[in-house]
Amino acid sequence: MVLYPSFLIAFLFGIVVGSFLNVAILRIPQPDQSVVYPPSHCPECQTPLKWYDNIPLLSFIILRRKCRYCQCPISWQYPLIELAMGLFSLALLHSFPFPWPFIGFFLFTAALLVIIVIDFKHQLIPDIISLPGIILGFAFSFLNPSLSWSDSGLGILFGGGILFLIAYGYYFFTKRVGMGGGDIKLLAMIGAFLGYQSLPFVIFSSSLLGTVAGIWAMSKQKKGGQTVISYGPFLAAGALIYLFFEPQIQFYLRSLLLPA
Ligand SMILES: [Zn+2]
């Protein structure tokens, strides 16, 4: 395999951004903390980190999973997010033209990655990501030749609307809140970036993934019924699958719906 310099740069850029996403994941759920200040410090002993303790992927390996100062283990989350963003960046450069489609979907995958981890850990999708994401996704449709602004606008309307109806119906029949407003804003953001055409697949695949995960969680818990699992990470996963496999998915959907 020939390693083109642009792909190497895309990968390195991805892991550097991934390291910033780790900070965002840590600090966004705590509203009194800024994402840029104070500089990174060990979450256990609070010692500020030197630049050489903070090199994406490398420091984790060199330090052998331990803080240099207090020897506390460093979470696997850090290198995994860095690696994931590096690989997404590579895959995006491979699949989408540079600059605008690449830049737009780079921001989109970064936002989804942060949402997946925060929602999984805190059962919360921060408005500070999803609301600007809706606007950004719509603005981006003017720079993305493969998505019209009307497809993006309908994506926002249907994405927000469909989940709102489902959430309202669920509440109406069960008098319990099954889905948060965060999921509704997230699906509107997904519709803004991927167009309304993506919504049936994103809803279907995320429900399927969520059901499998829910059954697994209930079997582990052995009580049944009321297990709380966030839906957001599955919506985000469905959107990522659609982003990278849209031609294949549309091909299969068409042959399913319109048999020759
Ligand atoms: Zn420490």
Residue range 15-40, pLDDT digits in tens = 999 999 999 998 898 877 776 677 78
CA angle 150-153-156, nearest 5°?
Answer: 150
Tell whether the model's pLDDT for residue 182 goes beyond 60. Answer: yes
Nearest to 126 by CA among 110, 106, 111: 111
Half-sphere exposure of 234 (CA within 13 A, CB side): 17
68 CA distance to ligand 1 middle (Å): 7
pLDDT given at position 10: 94
- CA–CA gap between residue 118 and residue 133 (Å, rounded): 16
74 CA distance to ligand 1 middle (Å): 9
Least confident interval from 38-47, 92-101, 216-225: 216-225
User: pTM for the complete prediction?
Assistant: 0.89
Helix axes of 127-140 and 181-194: crossing angle, nearest 10 degrees: 20
- The predicted-structure confidence for 152-176, as pLDDT tens digits, reads as follows 999 999 999 887 787 778 777 877 7
Mean per-residue pLDDT over the chain, rounded? 89
51 CA distance to ligand 1 middle (Å): 15
40 CA distance to ligand 1 middle (Å): 11
Average pLDDT over residues 123-127: 92
239 CA distance to ligand 1 middle (Å): 36
Least confident interval from 30-34, 108-112, 116-120: 30-34
Nearest to 235 by CA among 194, 212, 202, 211: 202
- The predicted-structure confidence for 226-251, as pLDDT tens digits, reads as follows 567 788 999 999 999 999 999 899 88
Nearest to 118 by CA among 29, 209, 35: 29
Highest-scoring range by mean pLDDT, 40-44, 171-175, 218-222? 40-44
Tell whether the model's pLDDT for residue 177 goes beyond 60. Answer: yes
30 CA distance to ligand 1 middle (Å): 20
Tokens of 165: 């109806």
Average pLDDT over residues 99-122: 95
pLDDT given at position 130: 94
Q: How far is CA 173 from CA 43, 177, 179, 184, 257, in A?
A: 44, 10, 13, 19, 32
Residue 66's SS3 state is strand
- CA–CA gap between residue 27 and residue 33 (Å, rounded): 6
66 CA distance to ligand 1 middle (Å): 8
24 CA distance to ligand 1 middle (Å): 19
pLDDT given at position 38: 75
4 CA distance to ligand 1 middle (Å): 38
Residue with tokens 């600059």: 99
- CA–CA gap between residue 73 and residue 64 (Å, rounded): 9
208 CA distance to ligand 1 middle (Å): 40
198 CA distance to ligand 1 middle (Å): 44
pLDDT given at position 147: 93
pLDDT given at position 49: 87
Residue with tokens 């019924």: 225
The larger pLDDT score, comparing residue 220 to residue 197, is at: 197
Q: CA torsion sign, 14 to 146 to 253 to 125?
A: positive
Tokens of 79: 């290198």
Nearest to 126 by CA among 209, 30, 36, 35: 30
73 CA distance to ligand 1 middle (Å): 8
- CA–CA gap between residue 80 and residue 92 (Å, rounded): 18
